[in-house]
Structure 1
Amino acid sequence: MLKLFKYLSPYRLPIILVLFLVFIQSLSDLYLPTMMADIVDKGIVGEDISYIWTIGGVMLLISGVGAICSIAASYYSSKVAVGFGQRLRSKVFRHVQNFSLQEFDKIGTASLITRTTNDINQVQQVLIMLLRMMVSAPLMCIGGIIMAVNQDAKLSLVIVVVIPILVGAIAIIALKGLPLFKVMQVKLDTLNRVLRENLTGMRVIRSFNRTEHETKRFNDANVDLTETAIKVNKIMAAMMPVMMLVMNFATIAIVWFGGIRISDGEMQVGSLMAFIQYATQIMFSLIMLSIIFVMVPRASASAVRINEVLDMVPEINDPKQPKKGDLEQGFLKFEDVTYHYPGAEQPAISNISFEARPGETTAIIGGTGSGKSTLLSLIPRFYDVGSGRVLIDGVDVRELTQEQLRAKIGFVPQKSVLFTGTIADNIRYGKEDASDEEIQRAADIAQATDFISEMKDGFQSEIAQGGGNVSGGQKQRLSIARALVRKPEVYVFDDSFSALDFKTDSKLRAALKETTTDATVLLVAQRVSTVMDADRIIVLDDGSIVGIGTHRELMITCDVYREIVSSQLSEEESA
């Protein structure tokens, strides 16, 4: 957890101020019982009213200073902790933005969300406690012992006996409870993952009548987390009753032996009252320390998880000296490319070589799992090739910065993703400074204008979270418009027409052909009708290229392509 505290560097002055305020507050709390003893022993017993008023006034003043310091310390400690949490969340978020898909696969989305929210919140809460208590608790404990000894050294032997008992009880409870906090965080990850899958897959769950199954999954994860939380809280709940029991017996012992010393004339009543208060302060300071000992390990478990994210080095990094292309813009080339997913025995794609030129449409077709989407993911460096090279404009994509590279590409993913906001905002996501005319033109080409104009507010109509208020085909057309408004050198369509009807598909491809005359178009599709007019068709099978050519050429030379065509088209259509 100390490793994370480097993010507190901008808050040095407020932290020093908090520690100073807590120090003053603690001194005032320690001094008040001694003054109360003086009022009793000198003012009340001596019937000196003026002394009572004088000391009472000083006590009010000291109490007021202590209260002001306490309020100010709470304010600044909260401000420091909240600022620390904000900086840390921003740091984690920015770091995660640099992750490749491999890092996301390693940690998992649900775990990343938990680490960015719940785990950072745990560290933030402990920081508030530390700022308030790491000075106050030791000072009150040590100062209380000194002041108690000052009131009566012999009676202090009661405290000497009680403190080891309290420390032992805290240690036993902490050792049993703390390991379970780490387990709780893992189980919270599991609960988040189940909940996320349930919410995002609601349509599938309902369509297959799997509501009860998913409810059981959630309940199992929920009960598992709850049982662990109850177990931890039962252990920790024992701490307060044990400590209060010890404190009460200590108070009884102090009153018992203190009464004897008063009757023997070795102690005054005011001193006994002050001694009881100091004993109480010592006990409560130990309780405060026990709370810190409970919360710090729990926060440490969270800090370890946060550090795992921050220490994870992205496998895909920008080169120190990026290059510039020396060929025509948009020229794309694969040279003997092979890629393995981490842990996989067989490569997802192997020995892939082809060229895609500006003004041409290169289509990729193949069966499920043939490596089509994997191949496209290597172009914008979502993954890096295992061997071989992917070149744009004659430069290896690994020798360009990710920003340089992706500025050249208009990527339309297989699963359309829309963001909360207006339709115009979603299209403008491809180009921040796009004008209304550019947005309109992109929507026209993507065949999206008709359904947009039918919506209540047109381009200013709101898109619900995840695009829940538009159909699959409408999502795809908006995703295509988002890529078109970018006017990139290379268009990459990863099965982006699958939700479109044949008529819209045909009109969209015709409009694209007119628009992308100067750009390179890569198109993955399942439909033969979508790819048969392409300048070049690449046929993939089990991660390898088994055919390259036009539709007519492949019908003659490629058995795999003929099988795909015959499964979708009649003899007349395939001709």
Structure 2
Amino acid sequence: MKQFLSYAKLYKKDGILAIICIEAETIFELLIPLVMADIIDIGVVNNDRNYILLKGLQMVAYALISLLLGQACARFTAACGQGIGAEIRKAEFAKLQTFSFANTDHFSSSSLVTRLTSDVTMIQNSISNGLRPGFRSPVMMITAFVVSFILNAKLAIVFLIAAPVLAILLFFIIKNVRPLYSKMQGAIDLVNRIIQENLTAIRVVKAYVRGDYETKKFEEVNANLQASSEKAFTLAALNMPALQFVMYTTIISILWFGGNLVTIGGMKVGALTSFLSYVLQVLNSLMMFSSVFLLMTRSLTSWKRISEVLDEEPTINDNLAKDIEVKSGNIRFDHVFFKYKSDAKEYVLSDISIDIKAGQTIGIIGQTGSSKSSLVQLIPRLYDVTAGNIYIDDHPIYEYPQKQLRDSIAMVLQNNTLFSGTVKENLRWGKEDATDEEIEKACHIACVDEFIDRLENGYDTELGQGGVNVSGGQKQRLCIARAVLKAPKVLILDDSTSAVDTATEARIRDGLDKELPGMTKIIIAQRISSIMNADQIIILDDGKMNANDNHENLLSSNEIYQDIFYSQTKGGNL
């Protein structure tokens, strides 16, 4: 609750004003039955038209004041609810930006989307729709209850029987519906996951004609969500029948006993009418209060899911960081071990020791699954090592603030990503204030200038989501240009030229060597031609370093390298 209130701080004024309007509105509404009782018992009985007219105008005035207060309440409540929801969503998104890859592995992307949207919306709605009945119903109930006892204490005893019965029924409903809401939100996660996967891979689905299979998968999770929702809402719907049962039983009892009191002269008709009005208000307030309870029950489930994100501790932090920057780009792996989960039985990388001098070009090659990508992701601390250390310029990487460390390293990942926006906006991810000349130079190095003129509006061409309107090779070259524009000390290319022909790849390598000679370059590749001129070539085999040497020595002595090399040349001949 303390954490939640911290997000509500900015909207405290709106919340307080909303509560004041709610309570004032309630008081004026509660005065109306008293006025109505006076009209019947005094005005009607004495046939005093002036009194009836005066009291009638008083009722209208109270009703108009209640209406204005209700409108003000709606405005302040909406501002409070939507504002708090926006603050929670902002805090949750900001927390996601601090997560390492290990943190994001704890949640599926579809679940994170649900927690940022559906769960936050649930809390917004709980505040917007629950604030008024939540503060209105207790005041209305207590006031009406007290006035009912003042009007006729004997008749009001009926409440003392009805209230515990209703409380027991509501407790049973809320106790059983809460875990069902949690299951329902989990089912929403699954539906979002299937939709996300299908839309992301829609070209693959179409190419393999798997639309029917995907439809069947969606129907299964959708049916699961439907079943979970039906079960939860069916139980929650018992709230209304329970209230109606108690309400009508109470009304019948009051009419029975009240009618007898009127017959024997123990109560006036106006008082009984007023008493019934207060009875309805009490029962109506109980109905509203129970609805708020159900709303809060569901929002608490959503808040628990949001709190799991907000309370997640980033596995990578700057607790040991110093105010230092990467100067040259020397990299040293010192007996590094790594596994993705601390309780995993085997290491993904085992006993890796490498010494890379600034300005060198390093090639990394190995069979699929040999942990090449895992190795380079440790350098910018996308994951932390499990044992051993990585040093840059003789400082352990944990001594660098994450921002400075990652600013000095550019990484073109295996799965290239472009964002919605223009080509130029995507390139400026590398350098936000880059000039047109700097952009053109980076594009020349990455051979983007070979196709940029063929795009509809050149650098101002709008890219679809994920860069769907450019080819795989063009996308890779744009991502390389974006990394080059960053002017990093270390450039990591994770199989990022696989969709580029060998001639273009050679021109990119030449451009990097000539234009950025002092940059440390680490290249993961499947083709030996991509790395054969590297200063060092590292061969990884099942997460272990098999060899580390230059092309000539490896070709003459290393069996794995020989197999790869001759399999990529015709008949084993150069």
Whether TM exceeds 0.5 here: the answer is yes
> Where does residue 452 of structure 2 map in the other structure?
452
Cα pair 1:325 1:393 within 8 Å, conserved: no
Amino acid at match of 1:145: F
Find the aligned partners of 1:330 and 1:246 in 2 and give their Cα distance. Answer: 76
> Where does residue 340 of structure 1 map in the other structure?
339
Cα pair 1:377 1:383 within 8 Å, conserved: yes
Cα pair 2:130 2:295 within 8 Å, conserved: no
Amino acid at match of 1:41: D
1:550 aligns with 2:550: yes
> Where does residue 151 of structure 2 map in the other structure?
151
> Where does residue 331 of structure 1 map in the other structure?
330
Cα pair 1:358 1:517 within 8 Å, conserved: no
Would the alpha carbon gap of residues 320 and 370 (structure 1) be closer, same or farther in structure 2, given more than 3 Å must change? closer
Find the aligned partners of 1:458 and 1:248 in 2 and give their Cα distance. Answer: 73
- Partner SS for 1:131: helix
> Where does residue 471 of structure 2 map in the other structure?
471
Amino acid at match of 1:138: P
1:482-530 per-residue CA deviation (whole Å, 9 max, x = no partner) reads 0011111111100000111222222222222212211111100011111
Amino acid at match of 1:79: A
Moved more, 369-378 or 549-558: 549-558
**TM-score, normalization: structure 2?**
0.96
Find the aligned partners of 2:70 and 2:374 in 1 and give their Cα distance. Answer: 59
1:454-480 per-residue CA deviation (whole Å, 9 max, x = no partner) reads 111110000111111111111111100
1:258 aligns with 2:258: yes
Cα pair 2:321 2:398 within 8 Å, conserved: no
| 1:246 CA displacement | 3.2
Amino acid at match of 1:440: E
Find the aligned partners of 2:337 and 2:408 in 1 and give their Cα distance. Answer: 23
Q: How does 1:277-356 map to 2 (within 5 A)?
A: 277-324=277-324, 329-342=328-341, 343-356=343-356
> Where does residue 243 of structure 2 map in the other structure?
243
> Where does residue 372 of structure 2 map in the other structure?
372
Cα pair 2:339 2:349 within 8 Å, conserved: yes
| 1:278 CA displacement | 0.6
1:195-229 per-residue CA deviation (whole Å, 9 max, x = no partner) reads 21121122222333322222111111110010111
> Where does residue 163 of structure 1 map in the other structure?
163
Find the aligned partners of 1:292 and 1:324 in 2 and give their Cα distance. Answer: 54
Would the alpha carbon gap of residues 14 and 320 (structure 1) be closer, same or farther in structure 2, given more than 3 Å must change? farther
- Partner SS for 1:154: helix
- Partner SS for 2:363: strand
> Where does residue 271 of structure 1 map in the other structure?
271
Find the aligned partners of 1:7 and 1:20 in 2 and give their Cα distance. Answer: 21
| 1:321 CA displacement | 4.6
Amino acid at match of 2:84: F
| 1:6 CA displacement | 2.5
Amino acid at match of 2:339: H
1:260-291 per-residue CA deviation (whole Å, 9 max, x = no partner) reads 32222222222122111111111111111111
> Where does residue 101 of structure 2 map in the other structure?
101
Find the aligned partners of 1:79 and 1:528 in 2 and give their Cα distance. Answer: 61
> Where does residue 179 of structure 2 map in the other structure?
179
Cα pair 1:455 1:461 within 8 Å, conserved: yes
Would the alpha carbon gap of residues 325 and 152 (structure 1) be closer, same or farther in structure 2, given more than 3 Å must change? closer
> Where does residue 233 of structure 2 map in the other structure?
233
Cα pair 1:319 1:400 within 8 Å, conserved: no
Find the aligned partners of 1:570 and 1:391 in 2 and give their Cα distance. Answer: 41
Amino acid at match of 1:178: R
> Where does residue 431 of structure 1 map in the other structure?
431
Find the aligned partners of 2:319 and 2:232 in 1 and give their Cα distance. Answer: 49
Find the aligned partners of 2:24 and 2:560 in 1 and give their Cα distance. Answer: 83
1:520 aligns with 2:513: no
Find the aligned partners of 2:339 and 2:243 in 1 and give their Cα distance. Answer: 59
Q: How does 1:529-544 map to 2 (within 5 A)?
A: 529-544=529-544
| 1:250 CA displacement | 2.7
> Where does residue 498 of structure 2 map in the other structure?
498
1:156-201 per-residue CA deviation (whole Å, 9 max, x = no partner) reads 2333333233223322322332221111111111111122112112
Q: How does 1:73-112 map to 2 (within 5 A)?
A: 73-112=73-112
Moved more, 433-442 or 229-238: 229-238
Cα pair 1:413 1:494 within 8 Å, conserved: yes
- Partner SS for 2:155: coil
Amino acid at match of 2:332: K
**TM-score, normalization: structure 1?**
0.96
Q: How does 1:201-220 map to 2 (within 5 A)?
A: 201-220=201-220
Find the aligned partners of 1:321 and 1:461 in 2 and give their Cα distance. Answer: 41
- Partner SS for 1:466: coil
Find the aligned partners of 2:302 and 2:380 in 1 and give their Cα distance. Answer: 34
> Where does residue 559 of structure 1 map in the other structure?
559
Amino acid at match of 2:358: P
Find the aligned partners of 2:188 and 2:393 in 1 and give their Cα distance. Answer: 47
Find the aligned partners of 1:359 and 1:215 in 2 and give their Cα distance. Answer: 52
Find the aligned partners of 1:260 and 1:55 in 2 and give their Cα distance. Answer: 29
| 1:573 CA displacement | 5.8
Amino acid at match of 1:360: Q
C-alpha RMSD of the superposition:
1.7
Would the alpha carbon gap of residues 325 and 91 (structure 1) be closer, same or farther in structure 2, given more than 3 Å must change? closer
Moved more, 472-481 or 185-194: 185-194
- Partner SS for 1:388: strand
Cα pair 2:325 2:405 within 8 Å, conserved: no
Cα pair 1:325 1:394 within 8 Å, conserved: no
For structure 1, list consecutive stretches of 5 or more residues without a partner in the other structure.
Answer: none
Would the alpha carbon gap of residues 249 and 323 (structure 1) be closer, same or farther in structure 2, given more than 3 Å must change? closer
| 1:364 CA displacement | 0.5
> Where does residue 359 of structure 1 map in the other structure?
359
| 1:56 CA displacement | 1.7
Q: How does 1:110-121 map to 2 (within 5 A)?
A: 110-121=110-121
Find the aligned partners of 2:573 and 2:35 in 1 and give their Cα distance. Answer: 102
Amino acid at match of 1:444: H
- Partner SS for 2:50: helix
- Partner SS for 1:297: helix
- Partner SS for 1:358: coil
Amino acid at match of 1:208: Y
Moved more, 158-167 or 378-387: 158-167
> Where does residue 40 of structure 1 map in the other structure?
40
Q: How many residues align?
A: 573
Find the aligned partners of 1:488 and 1:573 in 2 and give their Cα distance. Answer: 38
Find the aligned partners of 1:332 and 1:160 in 2 and give their Cα distance. Answer: 77
Cα pair 1:141 1:286 within 8 Å, conserved: yes
Find the aligned partners of 2:539 and 2:61 in 1 and give their Cα distance. Answer: 87
Give me the identity figure in percent.
Answer: 37
Moved more, 505-514 or 534-543: 505-514
| 1:2 CA displacement | 5.4
1:424-478 per-residue CA deviation (whole Å, 9 max, x = no partner) reads 0000111000011111121121111232211111100001111111111111111
Cα pair 1:101 1:382 within 8 Å, conserved: yes
- Partner SS for 1:470: coil
| 1:572 CA displacement | 7.1
| 1:130 CA displacement | 4.2
Moved more, 422-431 or 298-307: 298-307
Would the alpha carbon gap of residues 334 and 571 (structure 1) be closer, same or farther in structure 2, given more than 3 Å must change? farther
1:267-320 per-residue CA deviation (whole Å, 9 max, x = no partner) reads 222212211111111111111111122121211111111111111111100145
Amino acid at match of 1:507: R
Moved more, 341-350 or 535-544: 341-350
> Where does residue 13 of structure 1 map in the other structure?
13
- Partner SS for 2:537: strand
> Where does residue 411 of structure 1 map in the other structure?
411
Would the alpha carbon gap of residues 146 and 481 (structure 1) be closer, same or farther in structure 2, given more than 3 Å must change? same
For structure 2, list consecutive stretches of 5 or more residues without a partner in the other structure.
Answer: none
Find the aligned partners of 2:487 and 2:406 in 1 and give their Cα distance. Answer: 12
Amino acid at match of 1:549: D
